[in-house]
Homo-oligomer: A and B are copies of this chain.
Amino acid sequence: MNAVVGDVSGNEARIAELITRAREVGAQVVCFPELAVTGYPPEDLLLKEHFLADARAAVDRLAAGTEGIVALVGFPERATDVYNAAAVLADGRVAGVYRKQSLPNYGVFDEVRYFQAGTRPAVIEVDGVTVGLTICEDIWQPGPPMTEETLAGATVVVNLSASPFQAGKALEREHMIAQRARDNVACLAFCGLVGGQDELVFDGHSVVFDHEGRVVARAAQFAEDLLVATLDPTAARAARLRDSRRRPAARGVQPQVDHLGSFAVLGDGHAPSPRPAGKVADLLDDEAEVYAALVTGLRDYVHKNGFDHVVLGVSGGIDSTLVALVAVDALGAEGVTCVIMPSPHSSSDTQSDARALGANLGVQVLELRIEELMDGYDALLAGVFADVQPDITEENLQARIRGNLLMALSNKFGWLVVTTANKSEISVGYSTLYGDSAGGYAVIKDVPKQLVYRLVDQRAKRDPQSPVPGEIVTRPPSAELRAGQRDEDSLPPYEILDAILEGYVEDDLGREQLVARGLDAEVVDRVIGLVDVAEYKRRQQPPGPRVTSRAFGRDRRVPITNRYGG
């Protein structure tokens, strides 16, 4: 489910609709993502009493619609404290509540800010099958509550999740879940949130495993879906007869587990031993997965914030090309305007490539030449700048004129400006604040330059005829802010830069460790210096989707005022 943060009534309506559909297809239990009622993460909305009361009222109304099915719905529970909770809705009422025990407070997570941790594992019984309840982080730890719940007899464990995407996460997640299923000899149904929320993208990826860690059903990534799976809990129960690994853990232990109720959905008799079944979508490959995350992040940011159209500057370079591709895939060609804003430093080749890209994509293309405005600024500042030489000031002015023009189009027509800087540039501050960084959403801010090329390549190959003029991919990168400029005049080659950035930003390595990786000490020092001093610029960037293991922003939180240098 793609829940919208703060849209309690909208989320409630969607949950009610999905409960009805699940009952229609004969499901005994239907599971929703973590905090499905409020969206995730609701952040400081959780500090408002009236918000929590609204969420509770929605849960109570949803409960009334649960005859003939058990629904597990994530919501923030306001008791004497606040809990990240799962409501058990059955027989027309809230039969019980499970409270998340493991509260993540690292990386992009701040749950200790908001929630008290639960202390009681919990199970329900549905048509004679014991089902354990867990929420997200609970199963990223090998111990309780899943161990306690399965020792107490649960043969199926459900997990309500909001697990943010990063490259490779789906596979990592499946390995982890499969191991939990095997370790506990229990079926495990993982229900993932899908959709973009500010800097986070949730990849959905609901997946159901049997007790041997085999995939029984998997939803397509990055899409809402009512994933239906049939499990055979009796097989898990029987397997425990043969699998004695868990007996020592169980010896003499009385698991402290809450029983939240027994529910008969199919009637009095137990179901016969069913055959595990479900549709199994393929996992996307590495580039397709990241590309889908960008599309999902952009589409949801645009739509959930009430826009339907984006505008971007296209230069004929690889970065704006990738953003244009993503935008068209997210919003359709009718939702995208590309603006070409040549200066005297723009080559005719890049201009014509930009035009060709726009034509191939079928989007609206505008052209605004900025030379006269450049002259206007130069004239106005001539007196103040009389005794100093032209420098980066004049380059930045070009970028800021372009930023102003895009914002004027945004103001006039209600379009959202999307920016085109990649992670490599943003890392080292190779961008102009209020210039190319001006806009509402930074589509590729967490995509390193080399990955930009790979994403354009995989996307270009999807069409029988590539929409991307070949020269865009092969031309040496240039900001075209002065004559003959190339990125490599100011920066190390991107393969070296990206290697240093991965070590410094994603792995928190220091200078010595980077040099020990075989990177040149002088280049390392220079890049570290650039990254550190650019923090003030990053703090004023628009949000954009996180796709690596360490995005700037929610994820990598460093001071601006910082003399450490490494």
Residues of A within 8 A of B (CB): 4-8, 10, 41-45, 47-51, 105-106, 110, 112-113, 196-198, 300-301, 304-305, 366, 368-370, 372-373, 376-377, 379-381, 384-385, 388, 391-393, 396-397, 400-401, 403-405, 407-409, 411-413, 433-434, 438, 440, 508, 510, 512-513, 536, 539-543, 556-566
Contact = CB atoms under 8 A, between A and B. Distances in A.
Contact of A47 (B385, B403, B508, B566): B508
A366 B396 CA distance: 21
A380 B401 CA distance: 11
B404 A388 contact: no
Contact of A43 (B45, B397, B408, B559): B559
Given A50-B512, A510-B48, A512-B50, A41 B377 contact: no
Contact of A7 (B5, B110, B413, B564): B564
A562 B5 contact: yes
Contact of A368 (B4, B381, B433, B560): B381
Copies of this chain present in the complex amount to 2
Contacts of A48: 508, 510, 566
A564 B404 contact: no
B397 A377 contact: no
Contacts of A412: 384-385, 388, 391, 393
A565 B434 CA distance: 29
A393 B407 CA distance: 8
B543 A560 contact: yes
A72 B405 CA distance: 57
Nearest to A409: B384
A4 B433 contact: no
27 contacts: A44-B557, A45-B559, A48-B510, A48-B566, A50-B512, A51-B510, A51-B564, A51-B566, A105-B112, A106-B113, A198-B559, A300-B561, A305-B536, A305-B561, A368-B380, A370-B380, A381-B405, A392-B411, A393-B411, A400-B407, A401-B404, A403-B434, A404-B434, A407-B433, A536-B542, A539-B543, A540-B541
Contacts of A385: 412
Contacts of A369: 380
Nearest to A300: B561
A396 B376 contact: no
Contacts of A106: 113
B5 A559 contact: yes
A45 B510 CA distance: 11
A59 to B, nearest CB: 16
Given A43-B558, A368-B384, A400-B403, 10 more contacts: A41-B559, A42-B564, A43-B559, A112-B112, A198-B559, A381-B408, A401-B404, A404-B434, A540-B540, A540-B541
Contacts of A198: 559-561
